[in-house]
Amino acid sequence: MKFLTVGKHPKIRIVHSRFLALVVLFLLLVCGNRLGRGLARDLSAFAGLACVIIAALGRVWSSVYIAGRKTSTLVASGPYSTTRNPLYLFSLIGAAGLGLASGSLVILALLTISFGLYYPFVILREEESLRKIHGEAFEAYATKVPRFIPKMSLYSEPEVCQVNTRQLRKAILDAGYFLWIYGALEVVQSLHNASILPTLLKLP
């Protein structure tokens, strides 16, 4: 399957993410949302913030276990004991959170559908690599642990976990982008409400 090769090139992932970010940024700068101000907007922003915090903390938590040994070691403890792809799961939660924070169903759908159309190929490619490296051990792990939706009854964790501090620091910075983007969304919404930014169209 030709599309699976996208998981082999991190730069493609970066280009995909940046292109999507530019599209969303453009929509946010020129469009308002129909929620405007009030309780509905506040609830949407609160739900978005909750998702963004969960995503940031979840990605850091996952990175504690896997940072620096993504393919060299078959990690099957902590968040990886409940789902094979916790980093991508938390990224999806973060994307949904940013969509909620925007107050627009269009942007929420754009972010989540884009994730759903692209990342399954990345996941399949990465699992193909793990299968080649770890063989039967990965097959046993894949049979037991779900690919994406967590099964919390499987949760297990070690008393001690060795951490690659350099990789963990990078993971913390990466996770922080969700919070920075959330803050930027709130600033843009405030500028629209104050009529400083033009509202050419109101997105549902």
Query: Alpha-carbon distance 165 to 182, whole Å?
Result: 26
Backbone angles phi, psi at 139, to 5 degrees: -60, -40
Domain count, the chain: 1
Of 74, 69, 118, 128, the residue nearest 92 (C-alpha):
118
Q: Is residue 10 part of a domain?
A: no
Between 80 and 27, the higher pLDDT residue: 80
Please give the pLDDT value at position 5: 36
For residue 50, the domain's CATH number is 1.20.120
Q: Which whole-number Å values give the CA distances from 115 to 84, 93, 95, 120, 198, in the listed order?
A: 17, 10, 8, 8, 29
pLDDT over 90, % of the chain: 36
Identify the burial level of 44 via C-beta atoms within 10 angstroms of its C-beta, where 0-12 means exposed, 13-18 middle and 19 or more buried.
Answer: buried
pTM: 0.83
Find the mean pLDDT for residues 153-170: 87
Q: Is residue 87 part of a domain?
A: yes
pLDDT bin (cut points 50, 70, 90) of residue 160 is confident
Please give the pLDDT value at position 60: 93
Contact predicate 162/67, CB 8 Å: no
Q: Is residue 60 part of a domain?
A: yes
Contact predicate 115/58, CB 8 Å: no
Q: Is residue 71 part of a domain?
A: yes
Across the chain, what does the average pLDDT equal?
83
Please give the pLDDT value at position 4: 34
For 78, the domain range is 38-192
Q: Is residue 11 part of a domain?
A: no
- Taking 60 as the threshold, does the pLDDT of residue 188 lie above it? yes
Mind listing the pLDDT tens digit for each residue in 21-44? 777 777 777 776 666 567 877 888
Q: Is residue 108 part of a domain?
A: yes
Please give the pLDDT value at position 165: 85
pLDDT bin (cut points 50, 70, 90) of residue 18 is low
Between 81 and 184, the higher pLDDT residue: 81
Please give the pLDDT value at position 135: 92
Lowest-pLDDT range of 24-28, 61-65, 139-143: 24-28
Handedness of CA 111, 116, 120, 121 (dihedral sign): negative
